[in-house]
A and B are shown apart, each in its own frame.
Chain A
């Protein structure tokens, strides 16, 4: 949290960081919308942290600091709608985009600063029941309930037990790589491929890294399916997350029906409860 605090101190305007200080420990996200007061997301609800409205200068300041004064160097991230700001902090960016990306800082209308949480030991019971990590697991939960944190914990445990885990981190959110290092502890046997599309990344990992487990965050694209099937046929196990409230809900989606028919996943972990989390391990 110290690294996150220091990074936030660097990327936020001084007055905004001061206003945020009391809520920082509990904040999940910081929302900056032009012409509206800044707010923080605490336990799923937005709370205003200042009376003054956010201006173009504030938005430009945050983007300037997050991109090291170089919008061009985060152009490919911006095309995907985010900027990685270091220490696991991710900026979701909204504004006027063209096919070439974002023209300039003046085009940005709002920023959502997502703060990372390294929750060590969460879902320990569920993780124990998944040992010795020799099956493919789908982690299911609604947004903001802790899929990614549980995925990190699962990766770390599998890696510490000696499994070669390869993480395909398309949106740089799970490992939050910064200067070649992961912002989170992911274990000694984990290799991270970040920034590439999952469908391409899986094939790259299969060719080059000889993975026992391939970990992915949020499989949703149709193109992910064939790559996942190929990974399974090569003997790798998959650990992935999906947005959803229950296994039944997921089973109704055409994309997942095919994956379940092909036997890509054997187990599911359903996470529920925003404040008191419940981890349910199910056979598929």
Chain B
């Protein structure tokens, strides 16, 4: 009986952990989107104000906050255009698909138009990412309590059935 109780307690704990982990993943995505927004803001300024070439902007981004995200992006520009490198890089990001699509659309614009046009497109993408981030945040907040509770309840029910 003791073993059964211990097993049930373990299952309850596992369920709670799973629920919390799910929340943490959502939090990680939100934080990634925040980093991307900061990077886009920096890119916008570098393009519009400094007229800096994109490979140089990418290597500067890799040195800043959350720089590991941009590692290799500048090197990719040696063998392909900055736009193509951007599109490829976006495909590898762990973000919601609509955010990926929005970011990826910049691949056709970056470097191929004047600073004003690129700036406007980056602003539009930032707005879209902001909406996605807010949606994720709302979802996370509403499920903040539900996930661990739900996990624990489901695990509890399963444990009771077993006992």
A75 partner residues in chain B, CB cutoff 8 A: 51, 114-115
Q: Which residues of chain B have C-beta atoms less than 8 A from A72's C-beta?
A: 47-48, 51, 111, 113-115, 118
Q: Kindly identify, within residues 228 to 273 of chain A, every residue whose CB is under 8 Å from any CB belonging to chain B.
A: none
Residues of B within 8 A of A106 (CB): 112
- Asked if A60 is at the interface of the complex by the 8 Å CB criterion, the answer is yes
Which residues in chain A, 48-96, are within 8 Å of chain B measured between CB atoms?
60, 64, 67-73, 75-76
Residues of B within 8 A of A60 (CB): 112
The reply on A102 being an interface residue by CB < 8 A is yes
Q: Which B residues touch A64, using CB under 8 A? A: 81-82, 111-112
A102 to chain B, nearest CB (A): 7
Decide yes or no whether A219 CB sits under 8 A from chain B.
no
The residue in B47, B111, B115 that gathers the most chain A C-beta atoms within 10 A of its C-beta is: B111
CA distance A106 to B112 in the complex (A): 8
Contact A69–B83 (Cβ < 8 Å) = yes
- Is A195 part of the binding interface, using a Cβ–Cβ cutoff of 8 Å? no
A100 touches B111 (CB 8 A): no
Interface residue B138 (Cβ < 8 Å from any Cβ of A): no
CB contacts under 8 Å to A, within B46-88, are 47-48, 51-55, 77, 81-83
Contact A67 B53 (CB under 8 A): yes
B146 at interface (Cβ–Cβ under 8 A)?
no
State whether B54 touches A69 (Cβ < 8 A): yes
Smallest beta-carbon distance B59→chain A, Å? 12
Mask of A84-118 contacts with B, CB within 8 angstroms, 1/0? 00000000000000001111111000000000000
CB distance from B89 to the nearest CB of A (A): 13
Q: Counting chain B CB atoms within 10 Å of each CB, which of A60, A69, A103, A105 scores highest?
A: A69
In the bound assembly, the distance between CA atoms of A103 and B113 in angstroms comes to 6
The reply on B145 being an interface residue by CB < 8 A is no
* A residues contacting the other copy or chain, number (CB 8 A): 18
- How many chain B residues touch A (CB < 8 A): the figure is 20
User: Quick check: is B116 within 8 A (CB to CB) of the other chain?
Assistant: yes
Contact B111 A70 (CB under 8 A): yes
Does B112 contact A100, Cβ atoms closer than 8 Å? no
Q: Is there an interface contact between A71 and B116, defined as CB atoms closer than 8 Å?
A: no
Q: Say how far A66's CB is from chain B's closest CB, in angstroms.
A: 11
Contacting pair B114 A71 (CB below 8 A)? yes
Residue of B54, B112, B116 touching A68 (CB-CB under 8 A): B54
Contacts of B52 in A (CB 8 A): 70, 73
Q: Which residues of B contact A71 (CB under 8 A)?
A: 111-114
CB-contacts of A12-46 with B (<8 A): none
Query: Chain A contacts of B83 at CB under 8 A?
Result: 69
Residue among A69, A76, A102, A104 making CB contact with B82, cutoff 8 Å: A69
Which of B51, B54, B114 is A104 in contact with, Cβ under 8 Å?
A: B114
B10 to A: closest C-beta gap in Å = 55
Task: Tell me whether B117 is interfacial, beta carbon within 8 Å.
Answer: yes
Q: How far is the CA of A152 from the CA of B83 in the complex (A)?
A: 38
Known: A102-B114, A103-B114. A69 touches B47 (CB 8 A): no
List chain A residues, Cβ under 8 A from B39.
none
A61 closest partner in B (C-beta): B81
B16 in contact (CB, < 8 A): no
Q: Indicate if B110 sits at the interface (CB-CB under 8 A).
A: yes
- What chain A residues lie within 8 Å of B116 (beta carbons)? 100
B55, chain A: closest CB distance, angstroms: 6
**Bound Cα distance A158, B51 (Å):** 36
Question: What is the CB-to-nearest-CB distance from B72 to chain A, in angstroms, rounded to a whole number?
Answer: 16
Supply 11 A–B pairs (Cβ within 8 Å), ascending by A.
Answer: A60-B112, A67-B111, A69-B55, A71-B112, A72-B118, A73-B51, A73-B52, A73-B53, A75-B51, A104-B112, A105-B113
B: residues with CB less than 8 A from A are 47-48, 51-55, 77, 81-83, 110-118
Q: A68-B77, A69-B54, A75-B51 are in contact. List 9 more A-B contacts (CB 8 A).
A: A64-B82, A68-B53, A69-B53, A69-B55, A72-B47, A72-B48, A72-B115, A75-B115, A103-B114
* A contact residues vs B (CB 8 Å cutoff): 60, 64, 67-73, 75-76, 100-106
